[in-house]
């Protein structure tokens, strides 16, 4: 089963590419091996999120960065802005991504596409990137894909969090930030908030047997503690919410119970 979506892609090449990227983004780059993919942030100098993307090492000083459609130009211009004399070239492409769920048989993936590792926890799949990654896989519906993403996947920039967000409140630090690397752009804010036990609110998965809707407030002991950001159209209702970091369960305003689940936990 597969699902196709538009995807913004940057290719990065040149003799200074590894060193430059390692000093700019929140993820380690200098210990990646060929074919490895990692999630990362690119932060503003003051520390807020400017981009969230996957970086894949094709070979030394040859990398591919892919992100949500419409977010590639900002990622490209921001990386260009600080490169000064670094010998690296960024080229923006508008490609497509085909997500394949399960284990494709050898030979099912054409040589003309790039197969990259998915950062989703708890669900094995790969993403194929190309201008037109045509294969013979059955296609799932938008609703089926969103249920999979809400259950097993990650929040995405432009939907569950926006440019300017505080990275610590995305709950993606464990997969998108390296705390053992040297300095990178915006590091100070991340380190300072982390030392204070993280953000005031965190992105969490939610689950409810009763209907909930986008932007609906979540309450606990009579006080508002969060807000629904995205949710499936049918029961069981699964989605994402921004919730106060200490909250483990909540209710809707009419009393419906809502489970609050960390992003690294999978909803069955």
| pLDDT tens-digit readout, 62-107 | 999 999 999 999 999 999 999 989 999 999 999 999 998 876 665 5
Residue limits of CATH 3.30.1360.120 in the chain: 2-152
Domain with CATH 2.40.30.110 in the chain: 200-268
- Mean pLDDT across the chain, nearest whole number? 92
Model confidence pLDDT, tens digit, residues 203-224: 999 999 999 999 999 999 989 9
Continuous H helices in 37-183:
72-81, 142-152, 173-176
Whether the pLDDT of residue 236 is over 90: the answer is yes
pLDDT tens digits for range 137-161: 778 899 999 999 999 999 999 999 9
The highest-level CATH class for domain 2-152 is alpha beta
Q: Judge whether 203 and 247 are in contact, CB under 8 Å.
A: no
Reply yes or no on whether the pLDDT at 251 is more than 80. yes
**pLDDT at residue 197, as a whole number:** 74
Share of the chain above pLDDT 90, in %: 77
| Least confidently predicted of 70-74, 164-168, 251-255 | 251-255
Query: Please, what is the end-to-end C-alpha distance for the chain in angstroms?
Result: 19
CB 241 within 8 A of CB 161: no
Share of the chain above pLDDT 70, in %: 96
| Nearest Cα to Cα of residue 155 among 127, 199, 201, 119 | 119
pLDDT band, residue 112 (cuts 50/70/90): confident
Contact (CB, 8 A) for 132 and 138: no
How much is the pTM? 0.93
| CB-CB contact of 206 with 258 (8 Å) | yes
Q: Which residues contact 167 (CB under 8 A, 6 or more apart)?
A: 26, 41, 43, 47, 48, 49, 173, 176, 177, 186, 189, 190
pLDDT of residue 195: 87
Query: May I ask the CATH class of domain 200-268?
Result: mainly beta
- Six token digits for residue 262: 């960390």
pLDDT of residue 182: 86
Q: Are 262 and 246 in contact (CB under 8 A)?
A: no
Q: Are 139 and 2 in contact (CB under 8 A)?
A: yes
Radius of gyration of the chain (CA): 19
Give the residue among 67, 70, 2, 8 at the shortest CA–CA distance from 37. 67
Cα dihedral sign for 93, 49, 154, 107? positive
Q: What confidence category does residue 239 fall into, taking pLDDT thresholds of 50, 70 and 90?
A: very high
- State yes or no: pLDDT of 181 exceeds 80: yes
Encoding tokens for residue 182? Answer: 């040297």
The whole-number pLDDT of residue 139 equals 83
Cα torsion angle, 172, 173, 174, 175, sign: positive
């Amino acid at each position: 089963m597969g699902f196709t979506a538009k995807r913004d892609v940057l290719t990065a090449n040149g003799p200074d590419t590894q060193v430059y990227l390692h000093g700019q983004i929140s993820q380690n780059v200098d210990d990646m091996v060929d074919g490895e993919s990692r999630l990362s942030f690119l932060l503003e100098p003051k520390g807020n999120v400017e981009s969230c993307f996957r970086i894949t090492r094709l070979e030394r000083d040859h990398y591919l960065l892919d992100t949500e459609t419409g977010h590639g130009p900002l990622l490209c211009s921001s990386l260009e802005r600080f490169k000064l004399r670094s010998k690296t070239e960024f080229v923006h492409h508008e490609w497509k991504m085909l997500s394949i769920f399960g284990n494709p048989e050898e030979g099912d993936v054409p040589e003309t596409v790039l197969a990259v590792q998915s950062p989703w926890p708890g669900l094995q799949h790969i993403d194929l990137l190309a201008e037109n990654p045509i294969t013979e896989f059955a296609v799932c519906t938008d609703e089926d894909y969103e249920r999979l993403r809400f259950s097993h996947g990650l929040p995405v920039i432009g939907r569950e969090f926006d440019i300017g967000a505080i990275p610590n409140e995305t709950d993606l630090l464990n997969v998108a930030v390296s705390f053992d690397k040297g300095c990178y752009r915006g590091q100070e804010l991340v380190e300072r908030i982390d030392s204070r036990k993280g953000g005031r609110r965190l992105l969490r998965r939610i689950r409810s047997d009763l209907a909930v809707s986008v932007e609906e407030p979540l309450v606990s002991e009579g006080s508002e503690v969060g807000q629904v950001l995205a949710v499936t159209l049918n029961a069981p209702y699964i989605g994402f919410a921004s919730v106060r970091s200490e909250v483990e369960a909540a209710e809707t305003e009419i009393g419906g119970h809502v489970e609050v689940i960390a992003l690294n936990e999978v909803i069955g």
